[in-house]
């Protein structure tokens, strides 16, 4: 498996660290209530198809959002997240 | 004032196994330049670029980071964070006919000249060690965190002996 880092170009999967679902980016407001926080912390979709995850490119220290297809293993998009900081 | 003696971060170099040589390397002063968000530093290298700058080299060293090697630290005002990294990194060179074969055992980087040309830099991992690689006409300049100096030498030398052993068969 290879991911194309927007900074470094196509690199082997061994250079990346998987973090989890891209849902982690959508942090609820502190007063959003128990249900919203429960969903944020514990509930994840497990789609057969397109999904978005967070990956870290260890060498260049970029956080990336990877859109991939869990059925075909196709990598559809890789986006750097630095601008969100 | 006391005249302090600079000690190399890694001992027992240079070392040669077969057709590869690992040697200590002094790049001169190392200054990290990291532009503040939205600021543009003139002469800042694009990913992989190594540029001549002020008698030294400006080397792309990571996302929004460059290392100025072998030249005094510039005054960039409020354009970038400028930090002295001279003592923070350990530098070695890996040269010889089997330098690529040795490095291929340690990194997932595509080492073919078409993908990683002489005169360019790349961030990669040497096994699990985060590293900065600069390809030169003779081989590679490899930098890692100084605290990992011993591990860097150990990993590279293990690969050198393995490549040399196969050559000797």
What share of chain A in percent tops pLDDT 90? 75
Asked if residue A81 has pLDDT above 60, the reply is yes
Q: Taking 70 as the threshold, does the pLDDT of residue B1 lie above it?
A: no
Question: Inter-chain contact A11–B47, Cβ cutoff 8 Å?
Answer: no
pLDDT at A84 over 80: no
Cβ-based neighbours of A83, under 8 Å, separated by 6 or more: none
Place B7 in a pLDDT band, splitting at 50, 70 and 90.
confident
pLDDT for B12-60, tens place per residue? 889 999 999 999 999 999 999 999 988 899 889 999 999 988 889 999 9
> Is residue B152 within 8 Å of B21, Cβ to Cβ?
no
Structure tokens at B119: 């005169």
Chain B residues within an 8 Å CB radius of A59: 62, 122-125, 130-131
Instruction: Give A-chain residues touching B131 at CB under 8 angstroms.
Output: 59
Q: Is the peptide bond before B14 cis (omega within 30 degrees of 0)?
A: yes
ipTM comes to: 0.78
Model confidence at B77, pLDDT cuts 50, 70, 90, reads confident
pLDDT tens for B146-161 read 999 999 999 999 999 9
CB contact under 8 A, A59 and B47: no
- Cβ–Cβ under 8 Å, residues A1 and A13: yes
The 10s digit of each residue's pLDDT in B94-148 is 999 999 999 999 999 999 999 999 999 999 999 999 999 999 999 999 999 999 9
Contacts of A19 (CB under 8 A, 6+ apart): A53, A54, A55, A56, A63
Residues 6+ positions from B45 with CB-CB distance below 8 Å = B51, B58, B59, B60, B66, B121
What confidence tier does A83 reach under pLDDT thresholds 50, 70, 90? low
Residue ranges with strand state E in chain A: 2-5, 9-12, 16-21, 50-57, 62-69, 75-80
Neighbours of B93 (CB within 10 A): 20
B66-91 average pLDDT score: 92
Residue A8: list chain B partners with CB under 8 A.
Answer: 47-48, 122-123
For residue range A23-39, what is the model confidence (pLDDT) as tens digits?
999 999 999 999 999 99
Query: What tokens appear for B35 in the block?
Result: 């532009």
């Amino acid at each position: 498996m290879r991911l194309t880092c927007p900074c470094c170009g196509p690199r082997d999967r061994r250079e990346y660290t998987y973090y989890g679902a891209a849902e982690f980016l959508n942090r609820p407001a502190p007063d959003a209530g128990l249900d919203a926080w429960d969903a944020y912390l514990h509930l994840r979709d497990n789609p057969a198809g397109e999904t978005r995850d967070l990956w870290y490119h260890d060498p260049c220290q970029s956080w990336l959002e990877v859109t991939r297809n869990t059925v075909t293993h196709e990598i559809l998009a890789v986006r750097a997240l630095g601008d969100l900081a | 004032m006391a005249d302090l003696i600079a000690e190399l971060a890694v001992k027992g170099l240079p070392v040669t196994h077969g057709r590869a040589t690992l040697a200590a390397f002094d790049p001169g002063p190392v200054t990290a330049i990291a532009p503040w968000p939205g600021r543009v530093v003139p002469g800042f290298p694009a990913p992989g670029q190594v540029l001549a700058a002020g008698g030294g080299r400006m080397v792309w060293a990571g996302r929004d980071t460059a290392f100025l090697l072998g030249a005094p630290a510039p005054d960039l005002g409020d354009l970038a964070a400028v930090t002295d990294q001279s003592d923070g990194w350990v530098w070695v060179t890996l040269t010889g006919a089997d330098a690529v074969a040795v490095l291929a055992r340690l990194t997932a980087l595509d080492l073919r000249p078409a993908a990683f040309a002489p005169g360019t830099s790349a961030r990669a991992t040497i096994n699990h060690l985060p590293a900065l690689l600069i390809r030169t006409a003779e081989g590679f300049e490899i930098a890692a965190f100084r605290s990992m100096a011993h591990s860097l030498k150990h990993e590279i030398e293990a690969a050198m002996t393995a490549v040399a052993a196969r050559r000797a068969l």
